Structure 1
């Protein structure tokens, strides 16, 4: 049926090394501080989204995520739809030969290849893919920066998933959010040997959502203000320099300190928010032991609003970092792929940290459910692989 218009994209997860926490405008998702992240490789973590529209569809917009129907009536999703439709409408008004797509109902099908709402930035990849797929469907000439302004309204950190490599998000000061956009600090090709091992502690949904957690923190934490006005602005400058200089030691110190600062602010919230658990703290101890054994910093932990540990390291230190985790967690899911098989379990590395981190190793063995190996990667990629067939029906990927 020629009346069914379709476009597909994949979009990456990003993991912040300078954290976004707190909103100066919850409606527009305007942050109280700037942030900076690493975009992760889509071969390991991605959202695949197909956006379509047709006059034959029922009037309401629909979204199917991992086979489950989602509510699209929320203000965040509606804001993205509204802004993208307005941009398409402008094109149609300028060029009368264009198909009138802006008024047609949207049917969107999306799939994640990782657990949703488990502290793995699923909403960031999800909204980035949604916005990019609809922009492709509408053939918008908008730049990733322009689209980041829209994606931000769906999920704050989604704006950073519209770029590959190392990405900043400027907090901005305009009340309408026009200057709160993402920007690329450096492409993945600038520092391509950055790697990460993600220790998935729990694939369950978290107890306190990021949105409500932020609101409580802004209202009650005494640490929050100094973090937003003093700590983060200084670290943003230092982190951009560390990335430009490919200075892993500086990158790691800032990453770990900012993760600690963010979770201290959560703990300083009333009532306190505990995103980390005993397994998370064990991961911190093991990273500290890896660095002590190496005599320098070769691994850096960071935690978003959840218990999963993301450990950054450089490819040349894979044996000492990923190899050690493989020695401990060889039985866990995640080592099967090409990346996982390339990592050699390292008994010598484990021996060096055993005395220092014995109990922590036991916690990891018992508490990590799966491992994800990844590295720095590219931004959204247009794909011909559609999740909606030519009749407008979802493709059964099972």
Structure 2
């Protein structure tokens, strides 16, 4: 067909999201249907994002994919699930239109190159950003404009939450086909502008047990996980939604920490037990609680996904003091000027009273660096947090 383009290229970016009510465990491994709903905060793309370029061409003889410059196996089941679903939606859309016959571009092979500007597979939700970006890029090159929650979810469950900015709920759904297991926005990007996020990178190494294998083992062996999903998470989802809508940081912070602790308790309740936290992770937990005790209120709150790296929520008026507390307790061994990345933070001196309250012997070098960021703001993108550009060449 003369009207067919030899190549269509799309580049897009997608953000990381951090769950404050955790997703852990699936009731359907193939469709990636969770055993409980979850709720997350979408982070600013200036500091953490995945960038993906997808190209389809009549000259490509096979599908191929590269991650961070290294070619990966395109036959991975989850990647194939995303490709199949996008191509199915594209055919469905075109067959329902007046375009006849179907365009040849629907049969074109695709090449995908994806890159993260943060550690991959280290417990920083890289798969969520990656598959959200992949789903959106594929949708653009194949001309799909429907909701992409299901496509992204088939790659990585939490990826559906990265399709939206602000505060996002992934509803577990009830249907066996997963059509109602989708993401939706609880509050927009501009809802809580004072909220700040500090990512304390303890390790950039790949975690010893991946989330997929860890979840499956927990579902099979942890009685605590079943109790959490059925009895506790529904109540926590309602309470967390209230905290966000009312911008109640005290309650938000405490519930975030409790849910993180319980998630890791279910990992220890798994048999054999799974431990994603390191000694430094536990020292960070201790630091947060002592910092809050000194102030007599919850001013900072930690959460840990399936990895040792801490995500700390706080408000803008507390960032500088807590960063100083981290520097005091975990001083950088070298490159101190590169210890803090992302948003600028004014240096402050800790009071002698706070130093005494922290009561910890410094552990140099145990935190590699801090990324200072915030929730994705409305200036970045209203609603959908994925941004894209496209190009075609004749």
TM-score, normalised with respect to structure 2:
0.91
What SS does structure 2 have at the residue aligned with 1:190?
Answer: coil
What SS does structure 2 have at the residue aligned with 1:88?
Answer: helix
Cα separation, 2, equivalents of 1:140 and 1:38: 26
- 1:212 equivalent to 2:213? Answer yes
Note if contact 2:200-2:309 (Cα within 8 Å) is conserved in structure 1. Answer: yes
Aligned to 1:202: 203
User: Which of 76, 81, 87 matches 2:78?
Assistant: 76
CA pair 214-289 structure 1, distance change in 2 beyond 3 A = same
Aligned to 1:325: 326
- 1:384 equivalent to 2:365? Answer no
- 1:24 equivalent to 2:27? Answer yes
Q: Superposed, which structure 2 residues align to 1:228-377 within 5 Å?
A: 228-327=229-328, 328-329=330-331, 331-332=335-336, 334-335=338-339, 337=341, 339=343, 342-349=344-351, 351-359=352-360, 362-363=362-363, 365-377=364-376
Note if contact 2:240-2:252 (Cα within 8 Å) is conserved in structure 1. Answer: yes
Cα separation, 2, equivalents of 1:333 and 1:151: 38
Aligned to 1:116: 120
Cα separation, 1, equivalents of 2:219 and 2:227: 12
Aligned to 2:111: 107
- 1:13 equivalent to 2:16? Answer yes
Aligned to 1:46: 49
Note if contact 2:33-2:157 (Cα within 8 Å) is conserved in structure 1. Answer: yes
Aligned to 2:185: 184
Q: CA deviation at 1:229?
A: 0.5
Cα separation, 1, equivalents of 2:337 and 2:90: 44
CA pair 249-213 structure 1, distance change in 2 beyond 3 A = same
CA pair 5-240 structure 1, distance change in 2 beyond 3 A = same
What SS does structure 2 have at the residue aligned with 1:188?
Answer: coil
Cα deviation code 1:205-250 (max 9, x no counterpart): 1111111111111111121111000111100000000000011011
Q: CA deviation at 1:279?
A: 0.2
What SS does structure 2 have at the residue aligned with 1:130?
Answer: helix
Note if contact 1:333-1:371 (Cα within 8 Å) is conserved in structure 2. Answer: no
Cα separation, 2, equivalents of 1:235 and 1:322: 29
Which moves more between the two structures, 256-265 or 285-294?
285-294
CA pair 192-101 structure 1, distance change in 2 beyond 3 A = farther
Aligned to 1:162: 163
What SS does structure 2 have at the residue aligned with 1:243?
Answer: helix
Which moves more between the two structures, 37-46 or 101-110?
101-110
Q: CA deviation at 1:326?
A: 4.3
- 1:134 equivalent to 2:102? Answer no
Q: CA deviation at 1:129?
A: 0.2
Note if contact 1:18-1:255 (Cα within 8 Å) is conserved in structure 2. Answer: yes
TM-score, normalised with respect to structure 1:
0.90
Q: CA deviation at 1:100?
A: 3.0
Note if contact 1:193-1:376 (Cα within 8 Å) is conserved in structure 2. Answer: no
Q: CA deviation at 1:337?
A: 4.9
Cα separation, 1, equivalents of 2:341 and 2:224: 42
Note if contact 1:324-1:345 (Cα within 8 Å) is conserved in structure 2. Answer: no
- 1:92 equivalent to 2:64? Answer no
Cα deviation code 1:146-205 (max 9, x no counterpart): 201111110011010000010010111111111111110011101122111111111111
What SS does structure 2 have at the residue aligned with 1:355?
Answer: helix
Structure 1 stretches lacking a partner, 5+ long: 392-398
Note if contact 1:242-1:251 (Cα within 8 Å) is conserved in structure 2. Answer: yes
Q: CA deviation at 1:96?
A: 1.8
Note if contact 2:14-2:129 (Cα within 8 Å) is conserved in structure 1. Answer: yes
Cα separation, 1, equivalents of 2:238 and 2:9: 41
CA-based RMSD? 2.1
Cα separation, 1, equivalents of 2:71 and 2:80: 16
Q: CA deviation at 1:291?
A: 0.9
